[in-house]
Chain A
Amino acid sequence: MSHVSPARVSLDPRFAPPFPQAAEQMLRNPQLRKNVAHAIDVIQAKRGKLVVEKTDWQELRSAASAIRFHVLDNLGAYLEQFEARCIAAGGHVHWAADAAEARRIILDLLREEKATEVIKIKTMTSAEIQLNPFLQAAGVSVYETDLAEIILQLGEEDPSHIVVPALHINRSQVREIFARTMNLKNLSDDPKELTNAARTYLRKKFLSVPTAISGANFLVAETGAVAVVESEGNGRMCLTLPRTLISIVGIEKVLPRFQDLEVMLQLLARSATGERMNPYTSLWNGVTPGDGPQRFHVILLDNGRSSILAKNKERQTLKCIRCAACMNTCPVYRQTGGHAYGSVYPGPIGAILTPQLMQMKHAQSLPYASSLCGACYEVCPVKINIPEVLLELRAQVVNQERKQAGRFFDLMYLGLRIANLIFATAWGFHAAQRMGRIGLRFFTRNDGWIHALPSLGAKWTQTRDLRGLPKQTFHQWWATRTKGEK
């Protein structure tokens, strides 16, 4: 298949450059920044309008947060309950401890089906375990069916957002990709025509490929139901037409009861795409004779999640329902787009999720990819306190670094140890202030700002200016003021 991208390994946190390095490259790409800013402005405006109209938004968030915490506290019981119900309804349940095991289970199932082709619904877990390059290397042709995923697959591009993964690509770039890979010379860049081209391209696949792979937005422990939330109908096609369906789902995705969907569905669409409800939501229990796939497999994926569960502050990361509201509101993401994060999970949630999924062995620069402004926490529909987790992870990164050989004489750590000594006493602090005022005077320009510092200080001033120190400290000013008024 000439139009299927070759096996690529990209957005792998193990090999990605540190965030500041990757971000700098993105910042020099004005087209990308324009595309990202435009997309985000549109979603944010729609979301804002719909959240304001919802008078019980905060109550919904509180309920969602409590439900998700309750699930995590009792994850074992709910997973076993889901498993039993799913099996009773004719489904098969598999457990994958890590990405390699999940990939192997999927390939075994495909071999059993003698499948040489699969159609796919957009799924973050499959991207997380880098399923596509693996299957292609094993001789299985993979067809993404979500419009954005087709654009990425045909254009051999990386996703940059978890809900609208091709938001960094504009219409003329899409036109170029489709015209080249679908052999449509006269295609215009009208989104409607581009969408039609994708519809035609995929229709045959939907009707002929007998095996589909999906993720899931929710699992319901009470009933064994699986829920997939989507917009285009490609999901419904994959969930109903093939003979066999394989759903790969993170273990944290379970909800206690069917009724809990009333909370999650109200929050998810509004947060993700700024709609009152997404066009299509599908729910199914196992296998239904005469309707949809007659073989159904769920793969419950751990891949680092149970170790996140074990940590007090970090556990809340697993409440995430993957709505992407945090990246849409993030001032850092807005400037860099998603690729700089070097992970399939970009933005604030990616900054806390990725290093943890990597057991803090990779992606240690991500907890710093934030100004800690807190906007992500404010919009999060399940109230994940992302800044709190970022700070916790930063502390862990520092603790890891401290243990590294040679760090003892590192300029930064040496400086911080000296600062620790100086700030421990009032006289030391005041003396440092006086010396600082004298020293910094040499670098302070007439406008009262410091534009460039030498040595270690340059790390600060190369990206921002520093206010020169004032003539007196607050303490000094207060002392003179009270004297004068007495």
Chain B
Amino acid sequence: MKQPVPSRQRILDRIRAATPSAASDAAQLAASYAELPRAYVRSGSLSAQARVELMIQRLREYDAEVVECTPAELADAMTAQLVASGRHRFVAPPGTPNEWLVTSAWKITGLEWTIDHGLDIDEIEKAEGVVTAATCGIADSGTIVLHHSATEGRRVLSLLPDWYLCILRASQIVETLPEYFSRCQQPPALHPSDEDLSLGTPTLATYISGPSATADIEMTRIKGVHGPRILVVIVVRDDK
């Protein structure tokens, strides 16, 4: 693609002429950035228990269905949700842990699983439901964060199916949005451990706060326009 160089130069020249007080080099720019006021609330004040409860409350306010379970109960909880969904064809990301599939819905007749190893869009479109993991939960706004790793799948996977089951571990939940962003500041460890909470700066991210919605007609909130109309979240209480 040919760059229209003259316009680039012209715009940048105009900007430079309009900003005589601009920082002269990267160090000065960083110094001026560091002085910006940030007196807003950065870290939360809730107990771990209250934080998880707030997350669940917010999700329910968005009309998401929320179930809690212990790590040992996860397979059964998933099975129950899959069966209750009344749907049969499901997709899951390539990094889906084997035990999720093998011990749960795998054994139920009538449920059909496809793992996304480069599926065609049509095949994903045919799926009635999808199950993925998540990167983080933000309690304050009931937001689920996907960084689209192998356990969360590519973006289209959690978008096309009408029914979306998201598995969120309680230990992934932070209270405030700034807490999530500060976790993104540190690069993720090579050998992640339970104590290591750094997420790294994502190259792809989707923040989901409830099922897709619109209020474009008379400000009446309608759940489910183009994204999944039903959002189910299993909160795995690995914090207890």
Task: Show the binding face of A for B, using Cβ within 8 Å.
Answer: 35, 38-39, 42-43, 55-56, 59-60, 62-63, 66-67, 70, 72-77, 79-80, 89, 92-97, 101, 105, 109, 145-148, 151, 164, 166-167, 170-171, 174, 191-192, 194-195, 198-199, 202-203, 206-207, 223, 225, 231-234, 236-237, 239-241, 251, 256-259, 261-263, 265-266, 269, 273, 275-286, 288, 290-292, 297, 300, 302, 306-307, 309-310
Q: Are the CB atoms of A309 and B15 closer together than 8 Å?
A: yes
Q: Which of B142, B182, B219, B226 contacts A167 (CB 8 A)?
A: B219
Q: Are the CB atoms of A309 and B205 closer together than 8 Å?
A: no
Q: Are the CB atoms of B4 and A291 closer together than 8 Å?
A: no
**Which of chain B's residues has its CB closest to A35's CB?**
B218
Chain A hits for B208, CB < 8 A:
279-280
Nearest-neighbour CB distance to chain A for B33, whole angstroms, equals: 6
Which 6 residue pairs spanning A and B have beta carbons closest together?
A233-B227, A233-B226, A310-B18, A233-B212, A232-B225, A277-B141
Nearest-neighbour CB distance to chain B for A152, whole angstroms, equals: 10
Chain B hits for A145, CB < 8 A:
226
Q: Are the CB atoms of B226 and A302 closer together than 8 Å?
A: no
**Which of chain B's residues has its CB closest to A98's CB?**
B7
A62 to B36, CA, bound (A): 9
Chain B hits for A97, CB < 8 A:
7, 10-11
Q: Are the CB atoms of A277 and B143 closer together than 8 Å?
A: yes
Q: Are the CB atoms of B227 and A280 closer together than 8 Å?
A: yes
Q: Are the CB atoms of A147 and B225 closer together than 8 Å?
A: yes
> Given contacts A56-B40, A62-B37, A191-B218, are A75 and B227 in contact (CB under 8 A)?
no
Chain B hits for A60, CB < 8 A:
40
A288 to B149, CA, bound (A): 12
Q: Are the CB atoms of B14 and A275 closer together than 8 Å?
A: no
Q: Are the CB atoms of A171 and B217 closer together than 8 Å?
A: yes
Nearest-neighbour CB distance to chain B for A460, whole angstroms, equals: 37
The answer to the question of B1 belonging to the interface, with a C-beta cut-off of 8 Å to chain A, is yes
Chain A hits for B121, CB < 8 A:
207, 241
> Given contacts A76-B15, A279-B208, are A257 and B33 in contact (CB under 8 A)?
yes
> Given contacts A80-B12, A232-B227, A257-B33, are A309 and B18 in contact (CB under 8 A)?
yes
Q: Are the CB atoms of A258 and B227 closer together than 8 Å?
A: no
Q: Which of A74, A207, A259, A276 contacts B19 (CB 8 A)?
A: A74
Chain A hits for B84, CB < 8 A:
none
Does more than half of chain A's interface fall in helix, strand or loop, or is it mixed?
helix
Chain B hits for A164, CB < 8 A:
215-216, 219
**Which of chain B's residues has its CB closest to A252's CB?**
B15
The residues in B between 209 and 240 inclusive whose CB is less than 8 angstroms from any CB of A are 209-220, 222, 224-228
A/B interface sample: 27 pairs, CB < 8 A? A38-B218, A38-B219, A39-B218, A56-B39, A63-B37, A74-B22, A74-B32, A76-B12, A77-B22, A77-B23, A95-B8, A151-B217, A164-B215, A166-B217, A171-B217, A191-B217, A195-B217, A236-B206, A236-B227, A269-B141, A273-B215, A278-B209, A280-B227, A291-B155, A292-B204, A302-B7, A306-B18
Chain A hits for B212, CB < 8 A:
231-233, 279-280
Chain B hits for A166, CB < 8 A:
216-217
Chain A hits for B72, CB < 8 A:
none
A63 to B205, CA, bound (A): 24
The answer to the question of B107 belonging to the interface, with a C-beta cut-off of 8 Å to chain A, is no
A76 to B44, CA, bound (A): 36
The answer to the question of B89 belonging to the interface, with a C-beta cut-off of 8 Å to chain A, is no
A191 to B221, CA, bound (A): 9
**Which of chain A's residues has its CB closest to B25's CB?**
A77
The residues in B between 151 and 208 inclusive whose CB is less than 8 angstroms from any CB of A are 154-156, 159, 177-178, 180-182, 184-185, 201-208
Chain A hits for B220, CB < 8 A:
171, 191
Chain A hits for B140, CB < 8 A:
276
Q: Which of A63, A77, A105, A170 has the most CB of B within 10 A?
A: A77
A309 to B1, CA, bound (A): 29
A95 to B6, CA, bound (A): 9
Nearest-neighbour CB distance to chain A for B43, whole angstroms, equals: 12
Chain A hits for B21, CB < 8 A:
73
Q: Which of B29, B39, B155, B180 contacts A236 (CB 8 A)?
A: B155
The answer to the question of B148 belonging to the interface, with a C-beta cut-off of 8 Å to chain A, is yes
A282 to B32, CA, bound (A): 29
Q: Are the CB atoms of B32 and A70 closer together than 8 Å?
A: yes
Q: Are the CB atoms of B206 and A285 closer together than 8 Å?
A: no
Nearest-neighbour CB distance to chain B for A409, whole angstroms, equals: 38
Q: Are the CB atoms of B14 and A306 closer together than 8 Å?
A: yes
Q: Are the CB atoms of A74 and B23 closer together than 8 Å?
A: yes
Q: Which of B23, B209, B218 has the most CB of A within 10 A?
A: B218
